[in-house]
A and B are shown apart, each in its own frame.
Chain A
């Protein structure tokens, strides 16, 4: 009996078809690695979110700023949450309606604020100094313009840390938002400015149980209800960032938007009874599981009893996985040269490192993974790469960012979403 279990994981049917199609169509003749999406998966998730949450669903641009994927988001009834001026420009370029753009950034400069306030998108204010600047700009606007504005304060509920300290944005010392401890200042701000019609919070997604998120929301809701008592229901928009962690351990989506929606409906019915416009800002939950990276295996070797396969995906595109090993472990599947899945169920298994293309030792997309023998003609598929990876692409070693395709499972076709980065673009960055 073989006590080892293969870590070349079984995966959804579309992925197997997609890699087959990629090989058949010769995509790998010119490209050593590429990204594959299944946009039907994304559309289903967007629909589920829209069905379960009334109000406005926005997508966090930071997790996936690719132009054609932003356009896809618009086509599926989503707005855009932007965390920087660059993301705001990207969202405008994609064609989001300004009333559906939410500008959350911890470092909005005066020029950026002038731009955004003139544009008329929703802005969530990070701190009192920023508010001061905003008040000054708005004071010069016409009454009509002032009344048309919707701004919010980002409140830090100062709750406990989730599993990932790095992503826990609502802890007592978080750099984000205005801490709950400044209750008086917060109330004053709303009193002083009638265009503060929204409230915003974000405690993090990955590593949080739904209960923790909901506790934070309840905390802020109490404050909001108090303020609305005093100020005639001034706060009409309740903006919740994040909230849904992703399951990286299998192909299953868990928890779901439906489950999260039900929790919120039960614990915070005010969000669904017409008292507020509920704005959500999911990112990872829409995109992560819809996309994979597939790379050729360029070389294989053995060293010190370790099997090593060298691939084109590593710390160029998967920064957290490489730099924070072993926290962001990504599942992989091995396919042979013809695109057949190698499960390793009836084969010998080997402790294998899948080494990335970068020039440092820990650039390993998978470390000591139990896999069937990986060959030079094989392909490696890395799962759950649809969010936060392309968006944080690193130029190290001047590796080119890959092309992105959609696998259209209805037509069994590949559709280009974004061409790969060119050498000229790369050189320009450093010239």
Chain B
């Protein structure tokens, strides 16, 4: 009996079909590695979110700013949450309506605020100094323009960190938002500005149990109700960032939007009874599991009893996985030259490093992974790469960003979503 379990993981059928199609079409003759999405998966998620959470669902552009994927989001009834001026411009370019753009950024400059306030998107204010700048700009607007605005304060509920401290945005010392400890000043701000019709919070997604998120929401809801009693229901928009952790351990989506919504409905019914417009800002929850990266294996070798396969995906695309090993472990599947899945159960398993293309030793997309023997003609598929990978692309070693395809499960055709980065673009960046 083989006690070792292969870490070349089984995966959803569309992925098998998609890689097969790519090989068949000769995609890898020109491209050493690519991204593959299944947009039907995304559409299903967007639908589930929209059906379970009334109000406005927005997607976090930071997790996936690719133009054609933003357009896909619009087609599926989502708005855009933007965390920088660059993301705001991207969202406009994609065609999101200003009323469905939420501008959250911890570092909005005066010029950026002037632009956004003139545009009329929803703006969530990060701190009192920013509020001061905003108050000044708005006081120069007509009464009509002022009345048309919807802004919120980002409240930091100052709760505990989740499993991932790096992503815990609602802790007492978080750089984001206005700490709950400033209750009086918060109330005074709402009192002073009738265009402050929203409230915003975001404590993080990955590494949080739903319960923690809901507790933070409850805490802020208490404050909002107090303010609304004083100020005649001035706050009519409740904006919740994040909240849904993604399962990187298997192909299963868990928890689901439905489960999250049910928790909210149960614990914070005010969000569903017409008192508020509920705005959500999911990102990873929509995109992570819809996309994979597939790379050719360029070379293989053995060194010090370690099998090594060198691939084109590493710290260029997967910054967190490479720089913060072993926290962001990504599952992989090995396919042979014809696109057949290799599970290795029959063949013997080897402790293998899948080495990325970058010039430092820790650039390993998988370290000491138990895999079937990887050969030079094989392909490596890396799962759950649909969010936060291409959006944080690093130029190190001037590696080119890959093309992105959608695998259309109905027509079984590949559709180009984005061309790969060109050498000219890369050289321009440094020139």
Which residues does A use to contact B, with CB under 8 Å? 32, 62, 65-67, 83-87, 89-90, 93, 104-107, 109, 126-130, 156, 158, 165-169, 171-176, 178-179, 181, 204, 298-306, 308, 310-312, 319-320, 323-324, 353, 355, 357, 359-364, 376, 390-401, 418, 421, 423, 425-431
The answer, yes or no, to whether B169 is at the interface (CB within 8 Å) is yes
Q: Knowing A299-B126, A392-B394 are in contact, say whether A423-B86 is a contact too (CB < 8 A).
A: yes
- Which residues from B are CB-within-8-Å of A66? 430-431
Residues of B within 8 A of A (CB): 32, 62, 65-67, 83-87, 89-90, 93, 104-107, 109, 126-130, 156, 158, 165-169, 171-176, 178-179, 181, 204, 298-301, 303-306, 308, 310-312, 319-320, 323-324, 353, 355, 357, 359-364, 376, 390-401, 418, 421, 423, 425-431
Contacts of B392 in A (CB 8 A): 394-396
Asked whether, in the complex, the Cβ of A361 is within 8 Å of the Cβ of B204, the reply is: yes
Contact A129 B376, beta carbon cutoff 8 Å: yes
B339 to chain A minimum Cβ distance, whole angstroms, is 20
A168→B361 CA distance, assembly (Å): 6
Contact of A107 among B85, B130, B357 (CB under 8 A): B357
Residue contact B86 to A399, C-beta cutoff 8 Å: yes
Residues of A within 8 A of B104 (CB): 359
B158 lies within 8 A of A391 (CB)? no
Q: Are B418 and A127 in contact (CB under 8 A)?
A: no
Complex alpha-carbon distance, A408 and B106, angstroms: 34
**Contact, CB under 8 Å: A167 / B362:** yes
| List of A residues within 8 angstroms of B397 by Cβ | 62, 83-84, 86-87, 391
B154 to chain A, nearest CB (A): 11
Q: Find chain B residues with CB under 8 A from A179 CB.
A: 303-304
A173 touches B306 (CB 8 A): yes
Q: With the chains together, A353 CA to B171 CA distance in Å?
A: 14
Q: A130-B299, A399-B84 are in contact. Are A89 and B90 (CB under 8 A)?
A: no
**How many Å from the CB of B132 to the closest CB on chain A?**
10
B contact face: mostly helix, strand, loop, or mixed: mixed
Q: Give 3 nearest A-B pairs by CB, closest first.
A: A398-B86, A86-B398, A172-B304
Residue pair B399, A128 in contact (C-beta under 8 Å): no
**In the complex, are the beta carbons of A357 and B423 less than 8 A apart?**
no
Within the assembled complex, what's the spacing in Å between the Cα atoms of A423 and B128? 28
A156 touches B303 (CB 8 A): yes
Question: In the complex, which residue of chain A has the Cβ closest to the Cβ of B129?
Answer: A299
Contacts of B360 in A (CB 8 A): 166-167, 169
A67 proximity list for chain B (CB < 8 A): 427, 430-431
Kindly list chain B residues whose C-beta atoms are within 8 Å of the C-beta of A393: 394-395, 429
- Residue from A169, A302, A393, A397 with most neighbouring chain B CB atoms (10 Å): A397
A-B contact pairs, 19 of them (CB 8 A): A32-B109, A62-B396, A86-B397, A127-B301, A168-B361, A172-B304, A174-B361, A175-B308, A178-B301, A179-B303, A299-B107, A364-B175, A391-B395, A392-B395, A394-B395, A397-B87, A427-B89, A429-B393, A429-B401
How far is the CB of A80 from the nearest CB of chain B, in Å?
Answer: 13
For the complex formed, measure the closest distance between the CB of A397 and the CB atoms of chain B, giving whole angstroms. Answer: 4
Q: Report the Cα distance A64→B48, complex, angstroms.
A: 47
Cβ contact of B319, chosen from A86, A105, A319, cutoff 8 A: A319
Q: Are B175 and A90 in contact, with the CB atoms below 8 A?
A: no
CB-CB nearest in chain A for B401:
A429
Shortest Cβ distance from residue B83 to the other chain A in the assembled complex, whole angstroms:
4
Give Cα distance in the complex from A180 to B303, angstroms. Answer: 9
* Complex Cα gap A377–B428 (Å): 33
> Which B residues touch A376, using CB under 8 A?
129
Question: Contacts A87-B397, A357-B106, A399-B84: A106 and B93 contacting too (C-beta < 8 A)?
Answer: no
> Are B431 and A396 in contact, with the CB atoms below 8 A?
no
Q: Are B129 and A301 in contact (CB under 8 A)?
A: yes
Chain A residue numbers with a CB within 8 Å of B65 are: 398, 430
In the bound complex, what is the Cα–Cα distance between A84 and B396 (angstroms)?
Answer: 10
Complex CA distance for A299 and B430, rounded to whole angstroms: 30
> A305 contacts which chain B residues (CB < 8 A)?
173
User: Could you say which residues of chain B place their CB within 8 Å of the CB of A395?
Assistant: 391-394
Whether A299 lies near B130 (C-beta < 8 A) is yes
- Cα–Cα distance between A62 and B425 once the two chains are bound (Å): 17
Which chain A positions have C-beta within 8 A of B301? 127-129, 178
CB of A360 within 8 A of CB of B299, answer no
Contact, CB under 8 Å: A361 / B166? yes
Q: How far is the CA of A84 from the CA of B359 in the complex (A)?
A: 9
Least CB separation from B430: chain A residue = A65
Q: Using known A-B contacts A306-B173, A392-B394, determine if residue A398 contacts B107 with beta carbons closer than 8 Å.
A: no
**Cα of A364 to Cα of B173 in the assembled complex, Å:** 12
Assuming the contacts A129-B301, A166-B361, A303-B156, asked whether A312 and B396 have C-beta atoms less than 8 A apart, the reply is no
**New A-B contacts (19) at CB < 8 Å, excluding given A90-B427, A393-B394:** A32-B109, A67-B431, A84-B359, A86-B397, A105-B357, A106-B357, A167-B362, A168-B361, A173-B305, A173-B353, A179-B304, A181-B304, A303-B158, A394-B319, A395-B392, A418-B430, A421-B429, A429-B393, A429-B401
Asked if A172 meets B361 with Cβ closer than 8 Å, knowing A391-B395, A400-B86, the reply is: no
| Closest residue of B by beta carbon distance from A81 | B359
Contact check, A360 vs B166: say whether CB atoms are below 8 A apart: yes
Determine the distance from Cα of A310 to Cα of B178 in the docked complex, in whole angstroms: 13
Q: Which of A167, A178, A430 has the most CB of B within 10 A?
A: A430
Chain B residues near A394: list those with CB within 8 A: 319, 392-395
Q: Is the pair A429, B421 in contact by a Cβ cutoff of 8 Å?
A: yes
Q: How far is the CB of B136 from chain A (nearest CB, A)?
A: 14
Q: Contact at A396–B86, with CB atoms within 8 Å?
A: no
A89:B427 contact, CB within 8 angstroms? yes
| Given A66-B430, A359-B106, A430-B65; A86-B423 close (CB under 8 Å) | yes
In the complex, A362 Cα to B418 Cα: how many Å?
A: 30
Q: Tell me the complex Cα distance, A32–B109, Å.
A: 9
How far does the alpha carbon of A302 sit from the alpha carbon of B178 in the complex, in Å?
9
In whole angstroms, what is the CA distance A165 to B367 when docked?
13
Of chain B, the residue at the smallest CB distance from A312 is B107
A427 to B107: give the CA distance in the assembly, Å: 20
The interface residues of chain B lying within 8 Å CB-to-CB of A85 are: 398, 423
Given A167-B360, A308-B175; A319-B127 close (CB under 8 Å): no
Residue pair B105, A359 in contact (C-beta under 8 Å): yes
